[in-house]
Structure 1
Amino acid sequence: MKKILLVILFLPFLLHAQNHSVDSLLTLIKANPSKTGMVDLNCQLSRAYQFSDIAKAKKHAQTAVNLASRFQFKSKKAEALTLLGYAHLVLGEYDQALACHFKSLNLAQQAQDTMVMVASFNAVATMYHKMEDQKRAVLYLQKAGSLALLAKDTLGLSRVYNNLGNVYEEEKKFTEAFSYFSKAARMQRHLGRNRNLAISLHNMGHVHINLPHPEKGLPYLFESLEINQTIQNNMLRSGTLGSIAQIYALTGKCDKAMQYAHESYDWAIKTKSSKKINQAAKLLQQFYADRQDYANAYRYLKIVNQQENILDLEHQKLKAAETTAEYERAVQVLQQKKFAAEKENQALKIRKQQVNLVFSAAMVVLLMVLLVVVYRSRQRFKFSSRQLTTANHRMQMQNKEIEKQRAELYSQAQILQNQNRMLENHNSFKSRIFTIISHDLRAPFNSLKGILTLIKIKEMSREDLNLLFNLLDKEMEQSVEMLQSLLIWSKSQLAGSNVTLKPVNIQQLVAENLQLVASKAEEKSIVLVNLISENSTISTDQERLNFVLRNIIHNAIKFTSAGGQVLVQTKEEAEKVCISVSDTGQGISPLNLSRLFQEDRFTTLGTSSEKGTGLGLMLCKELLESINASITVDSQLGIGSTFKILLPNSTLTQSFLVRTDELILN
């Protein structure tokens, strides 16, 4: 028995799912829509009735054809003809279906509507397959496939695969047929086209009738049946139920086979399609004959004969052959006309070429004359151009010389500016040195002079002398401290005194400075703590960092009361290494905290009345800036202070450093 669903395989031009019910579409038609709307609504109604009433589907398709013809809508008429051809196909009117599809194809080709052309080629291929002309069927499927690939029409391509599966099934190549049906189903499932998917699933199940394990086809058939029930596609149910009945018969489940065969016949009666009734009746006649129930077998045989008389398939095949011959003759005539037109165009091209040749010869003569004139003009132009080039070259050389002189003048001006700035720096340096010497160093020496004068004019006891010498020792200690600071700062200010970078062990450097102040710490019972790890190393200028550490540690001891503590440790902060010196001293008032590191020098007495110069922190700040570092302080009165030295955490490069000859104490 031939595949029941070949009739419904091609669902022409169903490009979009319909969202309107039949009733709503009929209401829209009564509202007197536009011309295009009338054609579209009748096409949509034809598609909607394809599920339930093929006669009404045919009626609305014919109405759409008539309207499109009247309004001269070629693409719409092609679409309507495709729907009308489908209706004829379902009703078994193959000759009329083929004629409709050929007309649709001609109109689609005239309108260059690729989507309709793909649908029409597919439909014509289906008709030839039905008429057992597989050669022509394959030819039109190849055309449909090429166009679908070119237009990226995935749905059209899936229909081509379905039709190829039918061809292979007819040629008894059942495995290849199943492969093409599966390809079509995958594409349609991806697109969400359930109506087309139901057809492909039916074909996948039906082809198992001829494969070694027919029962494997049942899941595909039942899924197809479920989709048809969901979308209410009654036209496809009869065929699917018939295929299920055949598989149950092959697997020995005769009662189930008879049940589904009767359901198939009942749905065929509802479709009013002679072809479907004929196929369902044939299946029941075969089942009853196998059961030797000849009365029922004869009953259904009479129905088969009755429906075949209605169909008159041989007459339809003859008509279809005539339609094919007429179409092919029309194509041949069209090709002959095209050849004649091309021949005439070729003759016109030859005549045009001859005219162009004469015209070209005249143009060549004219061009030769113009070339002579142009050549002579060009020679004169070249001579003038050479003169201009020479003059321009001389001017460029002069411009270059001027630019060179300007660059030299600018360079000299920059040198002069740098020299002036250096002179200003040196003058400032000199002024500060003299100011410090005249003020800060004069006092200790005046004190020394006064003490010596006092000793000279008056005899003093040893106790008085010891008292005076202790005072003198403190004055000299302060002066020596000031001189050491001034020497370090003066060295950093001298031209040519550059920053010297080398790896410095921070723990060792701190330990050396703590050792230097250990005696003073013992006098005040201050505990010195070094929490820096032994392998803490950074690349910096050791002498400058050493000066800074010595000053800060000395200040910490100076302002820490007896029994206190001075703690030195390191910590990594972002891209910096922080060396912190913390004490438990008297702290710094907010007023004095804002004056630290400023030009306005000031000093306060330590916890044991130690004096200072007021230069230390100012020099620390400038020396740290010269090595791309900085210093900050946190302090609370009565609790203590923490000075933090922030150094770069990687090897310093010269581009980040400040030359010492450019440092100015403002």
Structure 2
Amino acid sequence: MYSRLKSLLFFLPVLLTGNLFSVVFATNDSLYNILSQSGSSQLSSNLNIIFQDLLRTNPSEGLSLGLRIASRIENEKNEKLFADYCYYMGSFQLRLSSEDISESYFSKALQIRRKQNDTEGLIRLLIKYAYLKIFFSDYNASSEMLMEAENLNENQKSPFHKTDINVAKAILYYIVEDRVVADSVIKAAITEAEYLGYEEGLNLALEHQGIISIALKKYDEAETVLLRAEKSVIAIGDKLMTAGLYDNLATLYTFMGQSEKAIDYVKKGLSLKKEMNYKWGDIVANSILGSVYFNMGKRAEALKLLEESFTVIQEKGYKRGIRTLASILANLNERAGNADAALKYFKIYKNISDSLRLEENLMIIESRKVEGDQKKKEAEIEKQAATARLNNLYITAVLFAGLLSLFIFVYVWLNRTRMRNINNGLAEKNRQLATDNDELEDLHQRLEKTGAEKNMLFGVFSHDIKNPVMAVMGYSEMLYEDYETMTVQEIRENLLKAKNAGVNLSNLTDNVLNWSLLNLDRLTVKNEVFAPAEVADKVLNIIESHAALKNISVISMADSAIRVSSDPNLYALLIRNFLTNAVKFTQPGKTVELTILMTDDTLITVIKDQGLGISDEIIDEILSGKAKSRRGTGSEKGTGLGLIICKAALEKLSGTMEIESALNEGTRIVLRIPVSEVTA
């Protein structure tokens, strides 16, 4: 029963608001003048155009205009015109929740259209009438009307009518609890509407899909389709349907436990309905807000809102609305422990339900009076009355047993819900503690990394930069003071050492600068057209003095014809650091090779040395960016910045690095960088 009450709650906005579109319309007096002054040949087309617009924008205005023009319609003595008039007046009354009057108009229109074999008009009327029968809970009649419309459309073959019929059938299946079938039918209707570009049918189908998905607890799916429908109806300026979608979204977010979103959508829907002076706006909004507040723990405020809505709808004598709100209030008061109030509203719910059921039975009896003579009708009525009495006795017994079962079920359900909420609260606290621990661990690791980087930077400035500066100064001072006593060879050697110290200082400065840009996230890629061989030659000119000191040959096998589009500075940074490392770890008298070639839009750079080699453990550290500096074969020191920067530069260039090495035999490093080759 509780799930049924929930269904009534979120179906209420759909029944009250309907599917309306916003258009610009003239004043009532202007429209009345147009219709009253139209000739007989123009009256029918003008009435259809004006009433269709008012049906979509302002049914209250349409009803007022229809009552004013009634005498003119009757004087025309035109049955088709009168059937159209009754169709629109019934639709206005349905939109304004005057269902009994609506049925009177629809019944007259149905009789005329069947008589005239107006298939097109009859299909539209049957679909609309089926919705009204759903509202009256006369599901058999609704189903029969939709079947009749479907049979008529077999000859008409209108894909638009087919879509409208499927949308209505989906709602009927949903109401009678066949929600899986409803879900399948409404999705088929959405596919049809999308294929046809039928915007009106698509928007209505999306809204109904959202409602059905809520019933099936497919909340993510419901959110997707309702937000899609919201975007569409806002784009076409459909304020009334937008307001209805806001109510459905508010109901969805209530079930999803997202109270703030639910409240926001309720307020937006209420604002639109107040703007359009929609008389049911406060009632729908307060009904949804009441449920939201109740779930938020604001029980007193929730019950107050629902009771205010109940009072208003009770004053208006809207029995189905009274029944729905009485069901909700009975349920919520029972959950809140207000036994007296729960019993009060349950009695109201039962009385109204009995009254409506009696009205429905009377409608059935009335519809059958025309089928036979007076004696047969009286006998049939008596028979039905006797059957009704027996049914009442049976229903009373069933209701008593049902109430007892309901009380037991609700009691057990509330206890289970309370325990589930406690368990969920504990689980949430555990998740929060785990999240806090993860954040603390992450912060600890970042602090350790920052400390290590700070120590490394201090070491660079206090020692690694100071050493080459002192070397340059020392060799310069020696040359200045002793050059007269030095041989030319000694002078050249000292100048070469000073140059090498300057080159080391320049490389170190570049690495510190690039390391700083990396930490500030300013190391960017600037694409230019360049020849990799030319970049390699410039790098070789820089490091050749260091290689010469160790008697190491650096051989370049770069294809000078290759021209690519990439970042030449980052590329120079990569090969300079890798070649410097190759020279650093190669024994004097050995060879370092540089090979550059292109394969399938990939620039391949290979640096091969005959040095000390690298262990698998250190290779893993290099690839993960955690390698520490080691002394070279000439006791050269390093900072460890070069490999860190090279790894970052490769990532910026979307490149990869492969390392093949054997201890005491040498290392081969392959860099693969995706580029665009430029032809001359």
TM-score range (shorter-chain normalised) is: 0.3 to 0.5
Structure with bigger RCO (C-alpha 8 Å, 6+ apart): 1
Q: Taking structure 2 as the reference length, what is the TM-score of the superposition? A: 0.44
Q: Taking structure 1 as the reference length, what is the TM-score of the superposition? A: 0.45
Structure of higher CA gyration radius: 1
